[in-house]
Structure 1
Amino acid sequence: MQTSKQYRLNNSTSLNVVSSGPSESPHSTIIFLHFWGGSARTYSTTIAHLPPSFNSKAIDFRGWGSSTGPQSPEEYSIHQLADDVETLIPKLDIKDFILVGHSMGGKVAQLIAGRKRVKGLKGIVLIAPAPPTSFELPGDMKAQQLTAYSSPESAEFVTKNVLSALELRQELVALLVDDMLKGNEFAKAAWPEYAMGEDVVEEVRKVNVPVLVIGGEKDVVEPIERLKKEVLANIDHAELLVVEGSGHLLPIEAPAQVASYIQDFVVKIDA
């Protein structure tokens, strides 16, 4: 059973949280953070493959999904997204938790883990994560990203030809495209404009909880070599698992395998 609830953080920002599973679970709560263009729904098929005894909470970042955000182009940085999650977690009435972050959400998860501002974090799972290093797109690629989610046609093209390596069912493509178009203009622009350029390496090198990195063998957005050089090299105790044949959209392309890796990670930590 899934339930959705809005949590008001301030006058401009409310975060939508989709909860699944029993509130009284024997396991740590899993908090899911989505990619640029996604929402809590990105994880729906992955969560469906987790045991029913697991409690999970998938968050819509500000400006995405059913969450609201300020009408300001400067208010969608990685630091601000991390601030939101850190403000939200004490409101969720949970004890121990594990962060799962995909792509942009993975960069947010790394920053939260490194800052250590919230009690109860037991570990992080990074799915095709954006590295903690600063990354600047070439001008033509930045222009392409700024218009990637501007129309149903462009969003579907990016989904099928850039983000995924496996053929997706059309209903999943439609869900992804709907989420991409639903993001507000400031949230859409922030990642290619400045958020991917944020350097959080100093904080991430302080991460001291268990870390699992899951990469897609055919991911062209965050290739395995970049994950090794820029994520694992900055978190020296992180473990890497590679999903064969998958691209960047691991929670959509390989939900059963991703869920299995998450389940094993949680059980190991809770033990």
Structure 2
Amino acid sequence: MPEIKSFAVGPDTSLNVNISGNHGPTLIFLHFWGGSTRTYSQVISKLSLDFCCIAIDFPGWGSSTGPQSPDAYSITQLAIVIESLIPRLEIGDFTLVGHSMGGKVAQLITGRRLVKGLKGVVLVAPAPPTPLVLPADMKEQQLSAYSSPQSAEFVARNVLSSTKLDDETIAMLVEDMTRGNEFAKAAWPNYAMAEDIVEVAKKIDVPILVIAGELDKVETLDRVKKEVLCNVNGAEIVVVLGSGHLLPVEAPGEVSSLVREFVEKL
């Protein structure tokens, strides 16, 4: 069982942190829009014997609290919160692992170079550093995606994943998607996906591994190649065949093996 800690990082923000394993290189896991520390449970179970695995709930998601404000959940604000937390973890050198929105946050943290000890980054089905502005109808669909268990289950089964997930995994995903606070839910489609962090991402100077899903409908392989690889110097890509956007739950074995191989080479 992981050690569970809570860190106050502001008057209305407390971060839930799960720590598994207490030796070996340190990995910090950042989840997707709608996820939580549980998104990485299967990956961490395969790594925690040899790594110190630290999974964090972003503000407003999972068991973390966040501001009751519609404009408090930008990529920049999420990065600042994580940057303020990392020194308090007292961990030394570490590798960031960011999935989807968490990957965009990881790119910003890495390019800002404000945190000591960051040795490498694994971007899992990452949101690119480029801005994405959705048409009005698509934006409305995203804003309502997590509004009910029924809509969240549809999204999990038909949009986010490309493999058949078991009912227990779907139930976990749906619970996490729907329990996020209203402002955290709305931030990504309203403004966070439109943030342009390209110039900061171009300053990244640590090794980067990109893990992409062959069948990803959200961050398509073509988009990841054009908008992540072309803006992050030296990034290498590995494509997981037959998998969609939810790589940590669709292909935890492949993701954990790739993370392990990457970190062992640092």
TM-score between both structures, scaled by the size of structure 1: 0.97
* Counterpart AA for 1:138: P
What residue ranges of structure 2 are gaps of 5+ in the alignment? none
What residue ranges of structure 1 are gaps of 5+ in the alignment? none
CA–CA separation in structure 2 for the residues paired with 1:51 and 1:221: 29
Deviations 1:141-165 (A, max 9, x none): 1000000000000000000000000
2:16 matched to 1:16? yes
* Counterpart AA for 1:77: S
CA–CA separation in structure 1 for the residues paired with 2:65 and 2:31: 15
User: For 1:180, which of 165, 170, 177 is the aligned residue?
Assistant: 177
SS in 2 for 1:9: strand
Cα deviation for residue 235 of structure 1 reads 1.2
CA–CA separation in structure 2 for the residues paired with 1:37 and 1:202: 27
Is 43-52 or 150-159 further displaced after alignment?
43-52
Deviations 1:157-182 (A, max 9, x none): 00000000000010000000000011
CA RMSD of aligned residues (A): 0.6
Cα deviation for residue 10 of structure 1 reads 1.1
User: For 2:51, which of 28, 49, 54 is the aligned residue?
Assistant: 54
2:223 matched to 1:226? yes
Cα deviation for residue 236 of structure 1 reads 2.6
For this pair of structures, how many residues does the alignment match? 266
Cα deviation for residue 51 of structure 1 reads 5.2
SS in 1 for 2:230: helix
Residue 247 of structure 2 aligns with which residue? 250
Residue 167 of structure 1 aligns with which residue? 164
Cα deviation for residue 93 of structure 1 reads 1.1
CA–CA separation in structure 2 for the residues paired with 1:110 and 1:51: 24
Residue 110 of structure 1 aligns with which residue? 107
Contact 2:129 2:228 in 1 (8 A): yes
**Deviant stretches of 4+, over 4 Å:** none
SS in 2 for 1:257: helix
- State percent identity of aligned pairs: 63
* Counterpart AA for 2:21: G
**1:92-131 map, 5 Å:** 92-131=89-128
SS in 2 for 1:99: strand
